[in-house]
Amino acid sequence: MITNKTEYEAIAARARALSDAQEGSPAGEELATLVSELRQWDEAHKGEQSHGPEPVEGLNRPDDMSISGLPGNLGKLKKD
């Protein structure tokens, strides 16, 4: 069972590495198990984080522009 972002990413990477495994082979069985775990995580976090767990620091970065005050600033950006 996946419990955190690091595990999710590791399992997703392993599943990608095994993506060409033949059905019924040991690698194919491992792939099926990994895909099942990923689907369980996605279903448990459906709607909020279905792409996987969000990083602890969030998705915003220091260089992201806040849009909350943008409309009032648009006039200041235009040169006459």
State pLDDT tens for residues 10-55: 999 999 999 999 999 999 999 999 999 999 988 887 765 545 566 6
Q: What is the pLDDT of residues 55-65, one digit of tens each?
A: 666 656 655 55
User: Would you say residue 60 lies in a domain?
Assistant: no
Give this prediction's pTM.
Answer: 0.58
> Quick check: 2 and 15 in contact, CB under 8 A?
no
User: Would you say residue 68 lies in a domain?
Assistant: no
Number of domains the chain contains: 1
> Quick check: 16 and 31 in contact, CB under 8 A?
no
Reported as type and span, the H/E element at residue 51 is none
User: Would you say residue 19 lies in a domain?
Assistant: yes
User: Would you say residue 55 lies in a domain?
Assistant: no
Domain holding 21, by residue range, is 1-50
User: Would you say residue 61 lies in a domain?
Assistant: no
